[in-house]
Amino acid sequence: MASGYSVWGGRGRCYGLWQEFCQCMAEADDVRECTASREDYEECLLHRKEFRRWNAVARELRRRQQAGDTFPDVDDVLLGIDTGLKEAEEEEVAAAAAAGWENRSREEERRSGSAGES
């Protein structure tokens, strides 16, 4: 979790927040000074606030649909909600995921190739 490495190698998405939290804890006289840093790190890991928001939006849309208002399908609306990531971060995450899958495929090819040679 706090190793700094992501699943695909490279830097993990929450590692910067982890370092910020650790630095705060090391320098703080009172642990409560680091509450905001801890909450940011936990949100990065667990996405609790984000999921709460999505669920609230879904509940409201379903309530309005039942009341007779016309809306697109709830799932379509939720997929369009801004996740809070900047466009550059989204592209970085997508590129890291793609690179991870490519590396994984190469590793599987190497394993199957060396297994066939034995």
Supply the range of the domain harboring residue 100.
85-110
pLDDT grade for 17, boundaries at 50, 70 and 90: very high
Q: What confidence score (pLDDT) does residue 118 get?
A: 44
14 with 33, same domain: the answer is yes
Total number of domains in the chain: 3
> Mapped to the 3 state alphabet, what secondary structure does the chain carry?
CCCCECCCCCECCCHHHHHHHHHHHHHCCCHHHHHHHHHHHHHHHHCHHHHHHHHHHHHHHHHHHHCCCCCCCHHHHHHCCCCCCCHHHHHHHHHHHHHHHHHHHHHHHHHHHHHHHC
Mean predicted confidence (pLDDT) in 13-21: 93
60 with 71, same domain: the answer is yes
17 with 37, same domain: the answer is yes
For residue 115, being part of any structural domain is answered with: no
pTM over 0.75, yes/no = no
